[in-house]
Amino acid sequence: MADRLYIFDTTLRDGEQVPGCQLNTVEKIEVAKRLEELGVDIIEAGFPISSPGDFNSVVEISKAVTWPTICALTRAVEKDIDVAADALKYAKKGRIHTGIGTSPYHIQYKLKSNQEEIIERAKRAVAYAKKYVEDVEFYAEDAGRTDNEYLAR
């Protein structure tokens, strides 16, 4: 393993969930440029399928910064991944961050599925995202309430 620490910043995606913290695209670009100046390696710029504004912000941030990897969040859904890939088309280095709920509650009530199908959906989503970008990151939503043995699988 490399002796290097990579800084992954979610301010432009996660930070927007704070009540009263709604940034427009120009403000997001300014934040992205400051993150680049600070040496942030990966900027999670948004969740492109969630709104035209988020899509546009990912596009414009991709154009505005030089060296950080620009990351777009998706669910483990092909349409989400297609939209994220389109939003990342100007990124010098793009990353798709895809994932799915893994807790019993998410599997049973939100996704109306079972553990084996969730694993298969996760694998398909990662493979599908790899068609667009080399850099794919996976998240297990609600992992804190997921059985550790299942989560490890």
Mean pLDDT of 60-87: 98
Band the pLDDT of 1: cuts 50, 70, 90: low
pLDDT for the residue numbered 27:
92
Q: Of all residues in the chain, what percent carry a pLDDT higher than 70? A: 95
Distances (CA, A) of 75 to 4, 79, 115, 151: 29, 9, 17, 17
Q: Going by C-beta distance under 8 Å and a sequence separation of 6 or more, which residues neighbour residue 7?
A: 39, 40, 41, 42
**pTM for this entry:** 0.93
Closest to 43 (Cα-Cα) out of 79, 91, 5: 91
Structural element, H or E, at residue 100: strand 94-101
Mean pLDDT of 39-52: 96
The residues that bridge with 72 in the sheet, in sequence order, are 46, 96
The full set of domains in the chain, from first to last, is 8-152 (3.20.20.70)
Q: What is the pLDDT of residues 7-21, one digit of tens each?
A: 999 999 866 666 777
